[in-house]
């Protein structure tokens, strides 16, 4: 078993070793081994030029990273939380995402922006926002959102090797969680293709679509519902942009019901996009009931634990949504 933290560390180590153009920069990533210990041991191994501590200035170090990518280095830019990426939104969107298009393809920007996204625990509104819908909205970016250790390793390696800017939305509460990791995933050449969802559990009655930490909640809800004779198919999106709608459509054709689950806010969210795409496509004709969304509450995250728990989708909320979709 490997934790998500160790899987990310493994991916960074392997890619730094594989390609001398790859470097990591961000707050506390070097001498302190990273705020979440993702970069543990890398500064000692690769030195100051490859693992770089920056001042607390997201706009500054994101701009440096984008400039480096434009001259064919491959920076990995860590935000201590994606809430702070708002300080650098001009660099991420106007500089990184749009440059390849505006230069008619002559300037690639091979950069990865990564760090924890969405709600952690007891950190209130300014550290708890999910940016999957924000970044998924913008053409020019690829956006990935891993759940398991295998997702984390395979998607980070694929992101570093990609010639486009990639936003990798990790989850702080998953960093210490151990997952089974296949022998194949331990290999140095293991990558997960960007833009391909994974069916984590086969089922026949309802399709559950989620990304990041809510995938685990969906699997727990599926286990609860299985005891009542309801078989859920659980899809781990893995990638927010480009969206693998084909896998979702094939599942909906089989189950005739759809429930989306996410930690982000409801309005214009990832689940809203999945539902819209299903409605616009051929799978709509196979739906036996309206699609149901399970999302975070439509408020800034409160600090009190009991309120926080009520703001984030729980297993009971998913079970309730499935029963609503199936009218049971």
220 and 152 both lie in a single domain: no
Q: Is residue 193 part of a domain?
A: no
Q: Is residue 192 part of a domain?
A: no
Write the DSSP assignment of 64-106 as a string of letters.
HHHHHHHTT-EEEEE-SSGGGGGGGHIIIIIIIIHHHHHTTTS
Residues 128 and 21: their CA atoms lie apart, in Å, by 33
135 and 235 both lie in a single domain: no
Return averaged pLDDT per consecutive 10 residues of the chain, 328 residues in all: 97 97 97 96 96 96 98 97 96 97 96 96 93 97 98 98 98 96 93 98 98 98 97 98 98 98 97 98 97 97 95 97 96
Residues 204 and 226: their CA atoms lie apart, in Å, by 11
Write the DSSP assignment of 126-157 as a string of letters.
GG----HHHHHTSTT-EEE---SHHHHHHHHH
Q: Is residue 18 part of a domain?
A: yes
Domain count, the chain: 2
173 and 203 both lie in a single domain: no
Domain range for 277 is 198-326
Quick check: 59 and 91 in contact, CB under 8 A?
yes
User: 275-287 pLDDT, tens per residue?
Assistant: 999 999 999 999 9
206 and 320 both lie in a single domain: yes
Count other C-beta atoms under 10 Å from residue 281's C-beta: 14
CATH code assigned at 287: 3.40.50.920
pLDDT at 300: 96
58 and 144 both lie in a single domain: yes
206 and 155 both lie in a single domain: no
115 and 246 both lie in a single domain: no
Q: Is residue 268 part of a domain?
A: yes
Residues 106 and 257: their CA atoms lie apart, in Å, by 44
249 and 216 both lie in a single domain: yes
Residues 144 and 200: their CA atoms lie apart, in Å, by 17
**Residues annotated as catalytic (active site), given as ranges:** 58, 127
Reading the block at residue 79, the tokens are 């935000």
Contacts of 115 (CB under 8 A, 6+ apart): 26, 78, 79, 80, 81, 82, 85, 168, 170
Determine the Cα angle at 236 with ends 129 and 244, to 5°: 95
pTM over 0.85: yes
Instruction: Provide the mean pLDDT of the chain.
Output: 97
Indicate the residue among 186, 209, 224 that finishes a domain: 186
CATH code assigned at 147: 3.40.50.970
pLDDT at 150: 97
Peptide bond into 218 cis (omega under 30): no
pLDDT at 224: 98
Indicate the residue among 186, 210, 232 that finishes a domain: 186
Q: Is residue 191 part of a domain?
A: no
118 and 162 both lie in a single domain: yes
Residues 270 and 265: their CA atoms lie apart, in Å, by 9
């Amino acid at each position: 078993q490997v934790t998500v933290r160790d899987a990310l560390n493994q991916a960074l180590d392997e890619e730094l070793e594989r390609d001398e153009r790859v470097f990591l920069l961000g707050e506390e990533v070097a001498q302190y081994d990273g705020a979440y210990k993702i970069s543990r041991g890398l500064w000692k191994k690769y030195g100051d030029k490859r693992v770089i501590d920056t001042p607390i200035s997201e706009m500054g170090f994101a701009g440096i990273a984008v400039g480096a990518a434009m001259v064919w280095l491959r920076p990995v830019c860590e935000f201590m939380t994606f809430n702070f990426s708002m300080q650098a939104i001009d660099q991420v969107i106007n500089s990184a995402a749009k440059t390849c298009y505006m230069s008619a393809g002559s300037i690639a920007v091979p950069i990865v922006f990564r760090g924890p996204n969405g709600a952690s625990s007891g950190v209130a509104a300014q550290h708890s926002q999910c940016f999957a819908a924000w970044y998924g909205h913008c053409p020019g970016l690829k956006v990935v959102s891993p759940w398991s250790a295998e997702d984390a390793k395979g998607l980070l390696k694929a992101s570093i090797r990609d010639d486009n800017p990639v936003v990798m939305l990790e989850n702080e509460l998953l960093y210490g969680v151990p997952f089974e990791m296949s022998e194949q995933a331990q290999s140095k050449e293991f990558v997960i293709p960007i833009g391909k969802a994974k069916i984590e559990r086969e089922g026949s009655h309802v399709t559950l679509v989620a990304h990041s930490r809510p995938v685990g909640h969906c699997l727990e809800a599926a286990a609860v519902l299985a005891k009542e004779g309801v078989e859920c198919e659980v899809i781990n999106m893995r990638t927010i942009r480009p969206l693998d709608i084909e896998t979702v459509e094939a599942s909906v054709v089989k189950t005739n019901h759809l429930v989306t689950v996410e930690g982000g806010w409801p309005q214009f969210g990832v689940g809203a996009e999945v539902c819209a795409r299903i409605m616009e496509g051929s799978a709509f004709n196979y739906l036996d009931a309206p699609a149901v969304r399970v999302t975070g509450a439509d408020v800034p995250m409160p600090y009190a634990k009991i309120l926080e728990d009520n703001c984030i989708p729980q297993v009971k909320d998913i079970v309730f949504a499935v029963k609503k979709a199936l009218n049971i």
